[in-house]
Amino acid sequence: MKKCTLHPLILLSFALLSSSMIDAAEPRKPNILFILVDDQSPFDFKFYNPQSTLDSPNIDRLATGGMIFDAAHHMGSFTGAVCTPSRHMIMSGRTVWHLPIGHGSKNCPPDLEKNTIGAVFNRAGYATMRTCKQGNSYADANKQFTVVHDATKRGGTAETGSAWHAERVLDYLGERKEKKDTRPFFIYFGLSHPHDIRDGTPELLAKYGATNHKDQSSPPAPNPKQPPLPPNWLPAHPFDNTSMNVRDEKSVSGVWQRRDEATIRNELGREYACSENIDIQIGRVLKQLEEMGELDNTYIFYTADHGIAIGRHGLQGKQNLYEHTWRVPMIVKGPGIKPGSRVPGNIYLGDLLATFCDLTGVAAPETNQGTSFKPVLLGEKQSTRDVLYGMYSGGDKPGMRSVKQGDWKLIEYESTTTKTRETQLFHLKENPHELIAEHKDPKATNLAKDPQHAAKLTEMRALLLAEMRRLNDPWRYSDQPDDGLTPPKSDQPRDKKKPNKNK
């Protein structure tokens, strides 16, 4: 008589079914490692700029193992301390005119800090930890993390530089291992560099041919190891951009108001030395996560609070809306993200909170105004929005505004104080470095005065006005309808606590 047995494949199916039922009953929430650096242009990296000489093997590996965003932006700033609104937007998911600081504070609900990253993820049962610089940030939100180790570390040694922040993360992971803590984690791994003063380690400064130049009256020594001049370098910005007297354009040690080749290449060398050190520190943290078996269940985000000029367009600082400064690097690696993928994305830093929540199944707070880009990360779409708006009004008013749609970008400049009025129109595919007449490149320039592009200019100006209205921008340009708005009286944002300028 034939013995009744189950076919091995059926047995295997039962085993798989029961294992997936266990998984379904107790899904393990993913961890988040959020890496935020201070003042870094996307064009410092080879994956955004093949001419770059920056070595960043660990960040490059995140890029090849994850997704690169070509159009990630910060929304802007109403103060020279661009970090401050940027970090408020990151923490809260709110847009620039709806923050608890600045002219838009009347548009912000009270106690917003209770709906920022640390508070939201604590409520969701996450273990939360943060290390970052101090100052020009969002102090009430920073302290919502359960474990906080904040200090500004911009020196050239392990104790005074980026290694200090990495040590805090490594210690925290070590304690987690010791305590057998199995809760999912949210680690906010912030670094104080490559923000000036860019005192790199001696080895890395030597690698990039740079010195911590202290003599304002002479340029530093040229060195062939220094990074090349950027393609959009200029010896001076050709017109008053409404914020030429801000600290970053005049007082940064090592640059001051110098824009000569030797000064800019040396300062880029200092920036790269600091950025490579950050890369080394990230490598240490990733290695520990791998050894702990956490890497495969962790979403890793790498970005900066905004970009920086360092000689591009004759500027030094972060108070402008060219792509080198308005854009930020953005890399995301994690479960379900196709390795080596690349998208425009059209995202803001203010979309991060919504995305963190969406990826982890945590409800986003009602105060959030950002849009999750999880569908982009999962390969379902290329971008989350069609139009991007940027602003800067930390100098003369109304200051600068930009709008981008597809390959087209408009930047407007107006100062009611100096009567400056300038317009730039760029086709970014044909002119990715936003070259202008002073760059003397026959193939690329500002198209705003080209009659062939008059219709496009009109269209982009209409888009900008629509975005200014949609986002409650309190200012209007003199050739825009005033919409019945009274321009804000004070030149200074109405901050409860005034930001410590440009730290």
Task: Give the binding site for Ca ion (CB under 5 A).
Answer: 38-39, 83, 305
Q: Please state the closest distance from residue 105 (CB atom) to Ca ion, in A.
A: 21
Closest CB to Ca ion among 38 and 414?
38
Residue pair 95/353 in contact by the 8 Å Cβ criterion: no
Query: Nearest approach, Cβ of 162 to Ca ion (angstroms)?
Result: 14
Minimal distance, residue 177 CB to Ca ion, in Å: 32
DSSP annotation string for 82-93 = THHHHHHHHHH-
Q: How far apart are CA 200 and CA 397, in angstroms?
A: 36
d(CA 72, CA 29): 26
282: Cβ contacts below 8 Å, ≥ 6 apart: 35, 58, 59, 62, 166, 189, 302
CB 270 to Ca ion: min, Å: 16
DSSP result, 17-64:
HHHHHHHHHSPPPPEEEEEEEES--GGGSTTT-TT-----HHHHHHHH
Query: What does the DSSP 8-state code read for residue 345?
Result: B
Helices (H) and strands (E) in the chain, counts: 13, 15
Nearer to Ca ion, 80 or 311 (CB): 80
Query: Which tokens hold the place of 108?
Result: 């912000």
Q: Which residue is nearest to Ca ion (CB)?
A: 83
Least distance from C-beta 192 to Ca ion, angstroms? 9
Pick the closer one to Ca ion by CB: 168 or 193: 193
CB of 347 to Ca ion, least distance (A): 18
Smallest distance from the beta carbon of 305 to Ca ion, in angstroms?
Answer: 4
Q: How far is the CB of 498 from Ca ion (least distance, A)?
A: 17
Cβ partners under 8 Å of residue 178, min gap 6: none
Helix (H, G, I), strand (E, B) or coil at 409: strand
Sheet containing 341-343: give its strands across: 147-150, 127-132, 185-194, 31-38, 298-304, 330-333, 67-69, 341-343
Is the distance from CB of 453 to CB of 446 less than 8 angstroms? no
Rounded to a whole number of angstroms, the minimum distance from the CB of residue 202 to Ca ion is 25
Q: Judged by CB, which is closer to Ca ion: 443, or 497?
A: 497
DSSP codes, 166-219? HHHHHHHHHHHHHTT--S-EEEEEEEEEESSS----HHHHHHTT------TTSP
Alpha carbon distance 236, 315 (integer Å): 7
- Provide, rounded to whole angstroms, the least separation between the CB of residue 80 and Ca ion: 11
Nearer to Ca ion, 85 or 365 (CB): 85
How many whole angstroms separate alpha carbon 233 and alpha carbon 260?
Answer: 10
DSSP of 133-166: --SSS-HHHHTTSSEEEE----SSSTTTSHHHHH
Give the residue with the Cβ less far from Ca ion, 276 or 305. 305
Closer to Ca ion by CB, 79 or 115: give it.
79
Which is nearer to Ca ion, 39 or 249 (by Cβ)? Answer: 39
DSSP 8-state assignment for residue 228: P
The DSSP output letter for 104 is: G
Minimum separation from the CB atom of position 83 to Ca ion (A): 4
**171, amino acid identity:** D
78 or 426, CB closer to Ca ion? 78
Q: And the tokens for 407?
A: 């390959």
Nearer of residues 152 and 211 to Ca ion, judged by Cβ:
152
- Min dist CB 139 to Ca ion, Å, is 15
- Closer of 184 and 499 to Ca ion (Cβ): 499
Residue whose CB is less far from Ca ion, 301 or 477: 301
Contact 99, 414 (CB under 8 A): no
Tokens 């791998």 -> residue: 290
| Minimum distance of Ca ion from residue 486's CB (angstroms) | 31
**Residue 272 or 475: which CB sits closer to Ca ion?**
272
